[in-house]
Structures are given as C-alpha cells and as structure tokens.
Structure 1
C-alpha cells in the first residue's frame, strides 16, 4: 500500500463522518485562533504604549516624589533630612537658572487637581493641569482648534484654558467649536483658547479629558501655592538624557538642602519607562498566550477522542487488512495522517479566523498579528495531530487480526 493510497484512505475516512470531523476542526480552530489573536492583543498593547511614550520624545525626563534612581549622581551619601522635602517652584527655578545643568533645555513645572468642569447644563469630573506655556512644545501636544496660552497669560494669571478632545465632545457636542467659550472649573470661569488633538488612550491615561491652564492661575484659584505635582524636563538631545537627569538630581537635591543619595524624588527617563512598559506588556502577552494554549490542548484532546472512536468503529477493517498482510507501520501511519490532516486543516482555519478578527478592536486594542505567533500556533497544531494521534494509531496497529475480526 503506497503513501498515496494511505492519504486517499485517510481522506475517505474523514469524509465519511463530516459532522464529527467538523467539530474536531472547530476545537483546533478555536485553539489556534485564540493563541494568535491574544498574542496579537498583547503585541498591539505594547506597540500602542511604546508609540505613546516615544511620541513624548526620547529626551523627556520626569521628576516626581519618591527615591531617585540617580541618587548617587553627585557622589557621597550624606545624612541630610529627607522627610519633609517636596518639589516646589523653587526646585523648578533652581533648574532653570542654574549653570550646572547645561544638558537641561527646558523645565515644565506642573500642579494638578481633580474637580468639576461645566458648560451650561453639561458637567463632568476631570483632571486640571497647571503648567507653563512651554508644556505644549516639550510634550509635543498638538491642537485641533485654537491656540495654546502664552507666557503673558501665565505672567498675568489669566483665566485661559486648553481642553482635551473628549472633554470638548462632552461639554460642547460634535461639530461645535469650543474656542472662545467660557467653562466653569470648580466655580472659576475660564475662556477656552484651544482644543487638543485626540491622543491614543491605550495602556494608560491621556489628556483627552483634561483641562490645561496656566500654572499661575491654577495655583491662585485651584491648588494653592504648595508643592508641585511633578517636573517635566527636556534634555538638549537624546544622548544628553542621562547627563541631564544626573544634573537635575544634583541641583534639586541641593535646593532642598539634602544629599543626592538621600533624594526624596524620582528622576525617570523615557527609556526607563519604555523598558519597564515593554517588560510588563511582554509578561502580559506571555500570560495571554498561556491561557489561549489551554484551548489548543483541549483541541488536541478532541483529536485523540475522535481517533479513538474511529479505531473502535474500524476494528474489523483493521483486522482484515492485517490478515491480508498489511504491516503495523502502514496501519499506524494511516491513523496518524488522519489526525494530522484534521489538526492541519483546523490550524489553517484558525490562522484565517485570527487574521479576519484582527481588524476588530478588542478591549480598546487593535491586535497586531506577528509572524512568530502564527508559525508557533500552526506548528503546534500540526504537532498536536502527530502526538495526539499517535496513541490511537499505536492502539490500532497493535490489534491482533483474530480478535479484530471477531469484533462486532
């Protein structure tokens, strides 16, 4: 019996019970499709978050409360008190005026608070950021309508605001120009100067719902003149980021009267944030793939089940073929081929289904199908046919001709 005849016999056996074969294919399809699609979701989330971080610029540095990674930048451990020190406008001014920070190009002090924003009968709770005008250039924030507020607006503490795209939609509705209108922020009126272009929200918060106002006005009307929420720094170049971070640590610690090793603030670069995010999303992708792989194993069990049933139904046929001299390897190979055909076709259908569904948005994320996940999932589905079809094949080839012929 040649290989062609073995394949022909395997196809005939599958075609003789299409319903059972279709259900087996469905199990493999779901398993393969789930692995590819969920890995795609993880990859999509990673790509989106990476894009957002890189969109801020690779030369951006954030300073916030907490122990500094660059604590030893200035050398020495010191013993200064660290319990009551926080970021203030004095910290920002020290950086802006110091000649000891040649690699720091710009400094953006920030304060923030959550409050109610209203226009007419529409109101919502959101975050208000108080910043200096250079915030828009440092963070590369684009405007869809109007303009950003200027230095004179901050100097005079004018009631001007730039709002996020989603907030504009909430307050003013679609197609309604918000520029020039007056909104109420925690009972204080602000004139809308501009509306920011919509930003991707995947993987974290964005400014789409925020109100951005001059920091002088925010401190006067909303937050008070206490501590800053953070500082956003722009290094002069990507290559100067680490030097700028070290310089910022030394200067801010000096302004606070503490040693850099005892810094009560964190200096974080975009590369660090990108590395951390990549690690988290990689772990998430692995977890999703592991969960999906369970359904692929279940599909393999389904292949084993149908092949065991097939062996049971064709016991007499196996006995006749063995009585006519068919060797064990031919009997075994036929059942392995049947199982492999089922898992291969199911795998191909699973790949096609995953590509079809990848055009959809899942949990706010557009999946990114990777070649590696396709090859791995399809390869595993073929291996499942060989491995999970192996036991039924061995069982079929081990049947004794006399006992097989007596089988009813």
Structure 2
C-alpha cells in the first residue's frame, strides 16, 4: 500500500474522532508554546544585558584599592590609599592594550542651586572618562587639560541632577551650583542614559576635574579608583595582565607579595550575568519540556485506545492482504499528524504569547529561528517515539484473533 493511501486512511480515522484528537494535541500545543516563549524571554534578557553593559562600556576595566593585611589585621579597601596619581600616569604612558585611562575620586554630598538642593555624588575624572563610560555632552562642553592643571571649579551635570536643581526648566549652563561649600560653574549637561541593568540611575551624576575634587573637596593625595578601557573586548584579559604587571612594579611588590589593588572588568560582569540568565532559561525550558512529555504520553494513550477500538478493522485489513508494515505506518502517521499539527499551532500560540509578554509586561524578548526549528524537530520526534509502541502493537496483532475481538 502506498504512502498516500495510508495518509488518507490516517486522516479519515482522525476525522472520525475530532474532539479526541484536538484534546490530545493540547499537550503538544502548550508544550511548544511554552518552549518558544521561555527561550524568547531568556534570549531577550541576554541581549538586553549585553546592550546595557555595552552602553556602560563592554571593555571597561575598574581598578580599586585591594584588601591587605597590616600588622596581622586585614584592612578594608575603603581604608587603603594604595592608588596614586603616579599609578594613573604609569598606566597612561606605558600600556599597550589600553585605549583610555582616567583616575576617579568621588565624594557624596548635597548639591545646591538657589533654593533647590539634591543629594548626589561628584566624580573627579579626566576627559577620557567620557569615552570609557560611553558618556556624551548634550549641551555645553567638556572641561580640558588646562582645567585639570589649574583645579578649576567647573562641572557637568546629569539630567536627574539638572531636573532637581533647576525644576523650572531654565538652562543650567553658566549657572553656579555648590557642592558643600565649594562653588562650581556648570559648563555642560550630559546626555541621558537612563537606568542600568542593576536599576541604578546613570543620570544622577556630577563630574568635575579630578584635581579639583582631590584638592578642594577631599584634600587627599590618593585616588579612589582608576577606570580604563581596553582596545577591544577581546583584549581585556591581556590588558588586565598588563595592568597587574605595571601596578606591581609601581608598588614595588615582591614575587610573594599579595596585590594591594583589585581589578574587575565588565567582561566578568557580563559573563556572570549571562551565566545566571542561561541557567534560568535552561530551568524554564526544562519545565516547558515537561509539558511536551505529558503531551507525548497523551498521544501514546490515544493511540492505544484507537488500536483497541479498531482491532477488528485491523484484523479485516490484514486478512485481505495488508502487511504488518502497512498497519505500523498507518498508526505512526496518525501520531505524527497529531504531533506536527499541534506543533504548528503551538508555534503560533508561542509567538502570540511572546508578543503579549513583551507588550503587557514590557520584558525584552527575542524569538530565535532555531527555537522554532527545534520545536518542529521535537514534535516529529515526539510523534514517532510515542506513536511507535501502539503502532507496533497494532502491526503484531494476529488477524484471526483480531477479527474475533469484541
């Protein structure tokens, strides 16, 4: 018997039991829709994290004072004063893998403009900091090397600070604001960046020349940290090794001495967050695949019932010449039709569910073509795997006993 005749017989059998076939498909439909939706949410989260980290500077490297022991007592990194301006200059002049380097000194306090005030922090940096953190000036201008050398009292404000200090919408350029008791002339406003992946407001920032913050606000001769950016994301590990070597030499650390600085890169943060996202995606996808398993068991159950109900029909067909392989293929085709049809509907429902999640919950989503291909592959496999045993049972029936079956 040819394939098309078997297909017609299978479709005719399914048509006689439409409701049962549809109910059997539900497990496959729900499973496939869940798999596509979960994978889309997981992929969307990864792409969102990658985009936000890229906005912060995907090849950014942060150098902080490290923990170390003094007199048997471990010192906190906040108490350490191991990073100096000389370290920044050594990195700036001697590295081959860094594109930009900037010292960073920070202080928290109250920003005041007229009758308005706002709690914020001021960061003392160099112009290279803008490139490292992917910042840009929307209005006004950036301070220059002359301002750094003279410790000029100038600053740039983020949009959050501007909206709170100048709620009337007036232009802050040229206005004087105070940080504590120190007056600063506003020379620029930073372009808005919104919140980052950790929920921090990237617009609540004030930047000024690092020499100004060191001398006029903190009165210190050491740096809080050093920010740098590698030539490319791929060169970040080489840049990190080079920074370690230069700082150990600069700090005169011996071969057995512990580093008195700590180096972190955005690449590490990206890998950690992607690892967490991947783990959650795998967990959610495994739960979704359980629905597919339940759907497959439903197909097997339906096919067993169908074989039992049609035992006499099978016996009659075999007695007039149908081979065991014909009976096997007939029931196998029925199982695959149910599975693949449920898969097609499941893909449609999965795309609709993904769109709903993106629209209603505002979650980042991304449907991959590979997830749809995987879904069809799983559907076909599910139909063959769970339909095989009932089909084998039907093909192995004895024609005489099948005809006598009541």
TM-score range, shorter chain: 0.7 to 0.9
Asked if the contact 1:82–1:262 (Cα under 8 Å) also holds between the matched residues in 2, the reply is no
Matches within 5 A, 1:59-208: 59-64=59-64, 83-84=74-75, 86=77, 91-98=83-90, 101-103=94-96, 104=98, 106-110=100-104, 128=121, 130-134=123-127, 135-143=129-137, 152=147, 155-157=151-153, 161-163=157-159, 179=172, 193-198=188-193, 201-202=196-197, 204-205=198-199, 207-208=201-202
Task: Look up the match of 1:398.
Answer: 396
How far the C-alpha of 1:272 sits from its partner, in A, is: 4.8
**Structure 1 counterpart SS, 2:288:** helix
**Structure 1 counterpart SS, 2:75:** coil
**Structure 1 counterpart SS, 2:158:** strand
TM-score by length of 1: 0.74
Task: Measure, in 2, the Cα distance between the counterparts of 1:327 and 1:334.
Answer: 11
Shift in alpha-carbon separation, 1:378–1:255, aligned structure 2, 3 A? same
Task: Measure, in 2, the Cα distance between the counterparts of 1:244 and 1:39.
Answer: 35
How far the C-alpha of 1:319 sits from its partner, in A, is: 3.4
Shift in alpha-carbon separation, 1:63–1:313, aligned structure 2, 3 A? same
How far the C-alpha of 1:289 sits from its partner, in A, is: 2.6
Shift in alpha-carbon separation, 1:340–1:244, aligned structure 2, 3 A? closer
Shift in alpha-carbon separation, 1:143–1:295, aligned structure 2, 3 A? farther
Matches within 5 A, 1:1-400: 1-57=1-57, 59-64=59-64, 83-84=74-75, 86=77, 91-98=83-90, 101-103=94-96, 104=98, 106-110=100-104, 128=121, 130-134=123-127, 135-143=129-137, 152=147, 155-157=151-153, 161-163=157-159, 179=172, 193-198=188-193, 201-202=196-197, 204-205=198-199, 207-208=201-202, 210-214=204-208, 230-235=225-230, 244-253=239-248, 258-259=253-254, 262-359=258-355, 360-361=357-358, 365-400=363-398
| Long gaps (5+) in structure 1 | 69-78
Asked if the contact 1:66–1:265 (Cα under 8 Å) also holds between the matched residues in 2, the reply is yes
Structure 1 residues 86-95 or 144-153, which shifts more? 144-153
How far the C-alpha of 1:340 sits from its partner, in A, is: 0.2
Asked if the contact 2:103–2:126 (Cα under 8 Å) also holds between the matched residues in 1, the reply is no
Task: Measure, in 2, the Cα distance between the counterparts of 1:24 and 1:118.
Answer: 68
Task: Measure, in 1, the Cα distance between the counterparts of 2:11 and 2:72.
Answer: 80
**Structure 1 counterpart SS, 2:304:** helix
Shift in alpha-carbon separation, 1:112–1:319, aligned structure 2, 3 A? farther
Once the two structures are superposed, what CA deviation does each residue of 1:181-226 show, in whole Å capped at 9, x if it has no partner? 9999999999875253335745x44544533343677779998969
Task: Measure, in 2, the Cα distance between the counterparts of 1:238 and 1:381.
Answer: 40
Asked if the contact 2:104–2:223 (Cα under 8 Å) also holds between the matched residues in 1, the reply is yes
**Structure 2 counterpart SS, 1:262:** coil
Shift in alpha-carbon separation, 1:397–1:132, aligned structure 2, 3 A? same
| Long gaps (5+) in structure 2 | none
Once the two structures are superposed, what CA deviation does each residue of 1:132-158 show, in whole Å capped at 9, x if it has no partner? 142222222235566556674993455
Task: Measure, in 1, the Cα distance between the counterparts of 2:183 and 2:291.
Answer: 57
How far the C-alpha of 1:168 sits from its partner, in A, is: 7.4
TM-score by length of 2: 0.74
